[in-house]
Amino acid sequence: MGFKTADKRRIDELAEKAREGTLSQDGRAEAESDERVGHLVSLLKAKARHSLAIGRA
């Protein structure tokens, strides 16, 4: 589970624009949305690992 290759490329592109100071408002909103999704995916993965670990105990 995670981002598709094309999405990762877009995230990298947005990050580069942010570093250069050329990120538009729309790009900033897109990057923030991607970041929230990334955090949610990380949280879901952690909960799944925890559930699996409890099941093995």
Out of 2-6, 19-23, 42-46, least confident range: 2-6
Containing structural domain, residue 49: 5-56
Using left for φ > 0, alpha for ψ between -120 and 50, and beta otherwise, residue 55 falls in alpha
| pLDDT above 90: residue 12 | yes
Residue 3 — very low, low, confident or very high, per pLDDT cuts 50/70/90? confident
Residue range 35-51, pLDDT digits in tens: 999 999 999 999 999 99
Token pair, residue 20, equals 């250069």
The full DSSP string for 4-43 is: -HHHHHHHHHHHHHHHHT---HHHHHHHHHHHHHHHHHHH
Write down the pLDDT at residue 55: 85
Structural domain count, the chain:
1
Residue 33 — very low, low, confident or very high, per pLDDT cuts 50/70/90? very high
Question: What's the rounded Cα separation, in Å, for the pair 27 and 2?
Answer: 20
